[in-house]
Amino acid sequence: MLPQSYQTIFRKHLSEQQYLTLEILLLLIQILKNQGFNPHSAPLTVTNGDYGGKLMKKE
């Protein structure tokens, strides 16, 4: 997934758990990007007002 040079650098400076977490995160980002996910048009938003901070659908 990562170029070999990046893998070498990350494996040298990160623990195995940190490296695997990074790989999973990058994979999830790639999947969302390929599916056309746009965080600015997400269907849910957090409100701080009359709804007690619950997730509410945007209208």
Q: What is the pLDDT of residues 1-59, one digit of tens each?
A: 678 998 899 999 999 999 999 999 999 988 888 887 776 765 655 555 555 555 555 55
Cβ count within 10 A of residue 43:
7
Spatial distance between the Cα atoms of 46 and 10, rounded to a whole number of angstroms: 35
Domain ranges (residues) in the chain:
4-57
State the pLDDT at residue 15. Answer: 94
Spatial distance between the Cα atoms of 33 and 13, rounded to a whole number of angstroms: 27
Spatial distance between the Cα atoms of 47 and 50, rounded to a whole number of angstroms: 8
State the pLDDT at residue 33. Answer: 84
Listed in sequence order, the DSSP H helices in the chain are 4-13, 16-34
